Amino acid sequence: MTSPQRAPRVCLICKAKKKACGKELPTCSYCFKRGFDCVYDTESDTPPISDDLAEVFKPWSLTLFPMTVSTTTLDRTMAHHLHYMYRVVGQSPLQAGKRFLDNFQRWLPIISPRRLHEYIELSERGLPGADVSVLLLSICLVTLRSGGDLDDPFLHHSAVHVTVKTLYAQVQAIMHASSALVQAGLIISAYEYASGQIDSAYIAIAACIRMAQVVGIDAAYEKLGAVQEETRLHATSEWNLWWSMIVLERYGISL
C-alpha cells in the first residue's frame, strides 16, 4: 500500500498557529477542515509569519522581509498576499481591473489595457512577480466600494491602504525599479491625494518620478516613432505614464 505524499515542512498556517501539521498534499488536514488556503514553506529563507494572527490569516499581519530574501520567496509571498486580499474583499483581479480601466484609467492612463490583462492572467496562474503583485494590490485599493466590498468588520479602507503601502515599500526597497512599481506608486499617491493625505501623496509621487527616471520612462518619447508597432505601443504607454506622474505632481504643488 502506497503511503500518501507529504510535504517536507509544515504549512504556514500551522506554523503560525503552532498546530501539529499533518503535511498532507496538497492541503493538510487542519487547513482542509477549516477551509484555509494551505501554503507550504518550501524555502529556508521564507520570512517568518507573526504569531499574532487572527483566526483567519489577515493580509495586514505583515512580516518584514529580510534584505537577503530570494526573488522566488519574495514573488511567492507577495502572490499569497495578493490572492488573500482579493478573496477578503470579495472581488477578483479581473473585476478590479475592469473597474480600474472604466474609472481611474480614463483620467490617468498609466497602463495599457492589454498589459493589465496580461498581468491579471499571470496572477491567475500564480506567476506574477512581486512588483506586479504590488500593482494589482494597489488597483484593489482604488477600486474598493465602501458599501459593497468592505463587509468584514476588520477590513477598512485605511487598513487596506496601510497593507498595500507597507508591502509596496518593502518590495521597492528589495528589488530593482520597474514600470509596475512606478505604476503602483502612482496609484497609491493618487489614493492618498483623494483621501486628504497630501504630504504622503507628494512624497510618494516624487519617489515615482525618480524611479521612472531610473527605468528610462522619461525618455520614452524617443521611441514614439519606432518602426515596430510593439515598440511604439510600449513607448506610448510609458509616455502616458510619465505625463500622468507630472500631472499628479503638479496637482500636489497647487494644493
pLDDT digits (tens, 9 = 90+) for 176-191: 889 999 999 999 999 9
pLDDT digits (tens, 9 = 90+) for 186-233: 999 999 999 889 999 999 999 999 999 998 888 877 777 766 777 777
- 127 vs 209, higher pLDDT: 209
At 47 the pLDDT is 42
Q: How many angstroms separate the CA atoms of 205 and 244, rounded?
A: 10
Distances (CA, A) of 16 to 20, 21, 72, 155: 11, 11, 21, 21
Mean pLDDT for all residues in the chain: 79
Q: Is 24 helix (H, G, I), strand (E, B) or coil?
A: strand
- CA of residue 194 relative to chain centroid, distance: 20
What are the structural domain ranges in the chain? 1-35, 71-252
Question: Does position 150 have pLDDT exceeding 70, yes or no?
Answer: no
Q: How many angstroms separate the CA atoms of 238 and 215, rounded?
A: 10
In terms of Cα–Cα distance, which of 49, 57, 75 is closest to 134?
75
* CA contacts within 13 A on the Cβ side of 108: 23
pLDDT digits (tens, 9 = 90+) for 34-90: 767 677 755 444 444 444 434 333 444 555 666 667 778 888 888 888 888 888 777
Q: How many angstroms separate the CA atoms of 87 and 171, rounded?
A: 22
Phi-psi label, residue 196: left if phi above 0, alpha if psi -120 to 50, beta otherwise? left
- 87 vs 131, higher pLDDT: 131
- 133 vs 74, higher pLDDT: 133
- 62 vs 5, higher pLDDT: 5
pTM: 0.72
